[in-house]
Amino acid sequence: MSNVRRFGSRIAALGISVAAVLLVTFVMLEMGDRVNPTTVALGLLLTILISATFLGRNPALAASLAAMLCFNFFFLPPIRTWTIADPQNLVAWAAFTITAVIAGELSAFAKRRADESKELYNELQVAFDEAAKTEALRQSEKMKSALLDAVTHDLRTPLTSIKASVTTLLDSEGGHRTIELDSRGRKEFLDIINEETDRLNKFIEGMVELARVESGGTLSTGSLSSVEEAIAAAIVRAESLAGEHRITVRTDADLPLVKADARAVAEVIFNLLDNAVKYSPDGTKITITARRSDNGVEVSVNDQGQGIPVEMRERVFEKFTRGASGRHGGLGLGLAIAKGLAEGQNGSIVITEGDNGIGTKVIVTLAIGE
C-alpha cells in the first residue's frame, strides 16, 4: 500500500511541474507582444528551478521537457510548429535541462542533509533525555538519602530521649524501684519528654507543610493582610525558640495591606525567625524590618550569624539543605517552606548579606493590596 501511495505522489509531482509550465506559457501568451522570447525563457527557467527546489529532480526534468516544447512551439519561429529552425534554440533546451538537473541534485542534497540533521537531532534528543533521566534518578536517590538521614536523626534522637526518660520514670515507680527520684528529678524527665514531643510535633508539621506547599495547596492570595499583625503572630509563636536571642522589630509608619493570606505571611516570617535562631549565636540580635518599596512591601529578617556564602544562597532554598554552622540540626525544610509559601502568595524571597556586612538577611517581597 505504501508503494502505491509513493508512486501516486511521484505522478502527482510530475503533473504539478508540467501544469506549472503550461500555466506560465498561458500567461505569457496572454501578454502577447509585451513579452519577448528572452522574458519567456526566463519565466520558464524560473518555473523549472522552483519545481526542482520543491518537487525534486525528476519533476524538474519533466518541467524542462514541457518548457522546451512550449517555448519552441509558441514563441520561436516558425510559430506553431515543432520545427527547430535555428540550432541555437537547442541552447535553450540544454539550459532548461541543465538547470533541472543541477537544481534537482542540490535540492536532493539539501533534503538529505536536512534528514541527516533531523536524525542527528533526534539521536541527541534521546541522549539528552536519557542523561536527564539518569540525572533525575541520581538526584532522586540523593534526595532519598538526605531524607532518610534527616528522618533518622530527627526522629530517633527525640524518641531516644523520650524512651530513656519514660524508662527512668517507670523504674522509679512501683514496687520494684531501681532508681529513687524526688519531685524535682521527675519534673526534669517530664520536661525532657515535653520538649522532645514538641520537637517531634514540629518535625511532622514541617513535613506536612512542605507537602502542602509542593502540592500547590497554598492559601488564598485574594485576601488583604496586615504585615504588622503577621509579624506579631510569628514572634509569639517563636518565643519558645528564641532563647537568649533578642528580637527587635522595625516597621514603617502606615504600611499598606498586602495581597496575601495572613497565615501564610506569618508562617514565612516564623520559618525565617526559626532559621535565624539556629544559625546565630545566643545573645545576638535578630531584626525584623518591614518597609514599603517600589515592588511592594519588603519584610526582612536579619541575624548576626556567620552568614551564607554567595554560592549557597540559592541552594539553601532546596529541601533538606542545611548550613554547616547550624547548632540545632533540623531537616533543612524551613527556607524551602518559606520560599514555597512566599511564591504561592505571588511574592518573592531572596538572601543577601546582613546589615553592615554581618550575618544573613532574608528579604520577602509581597504585593500591595488594592
Residue 127 located in a structural domain: no
The answer to whether residues 39 and 160 belong to one domain is no
Could you tell me the pTM of the whole model? Answer: 0.52
The answer to whether residues 200 and 237 belong to one domain is no
Could you read off the pLDDT of 98-134 as tens digits, one per residue? 776 777 777 777 777 777 778 878 887 888 788 777 7
Residue 37 located in a structural domain: yes
Q: Among 214, 242, 274, give the residue marking a domain's end.
A: 214
The answer to whether residues 101 and 151 belong to one domain is no
The answer to whether residues 158 and 44 belong to one domain is no
Residue 134 located in a structural domain: no
Range of 297's domain? 224-366
User: Which of residues 303 and 61 earns the better pLDDT score?
Assistant: 303
The answer to whether residues 243 and 319 belong to one domain is yes
Instruction: Provide the CATH number for the domain around residue 310.
Output: 3.30.565.10
Could you read off the pLDDT of 45-64 as tens digits, one per residue? 888 888 877 887 788 788 88
**Would you place residue 148 in the very low, low, confident or very high pLDDT band (cuts 50, 70, 90)?**
low
Instruction: Report the number of distinct structural domains present in the chain.
Output: 3
The answer to whether residues 114 and 152 belong to one domain is no
Q: Among 91, 121, 151, give the residue marking a domain's end.
A: 121
Residue 132 located in a structural domain: no
Residue 129 located in a structural domain: no
Amino acid found at 174:
G
Instruction: Provide the CATH number for the domain around residue 207.
Output: 1.10.287
The answer to whether residues 306 and 353 belong to one domain is yes
What pLDDT score was predicted for residue 147? 56
The answer to whether residues 197 and 260 belong to one domain is no
Mean pLDDT of 127-152: 68
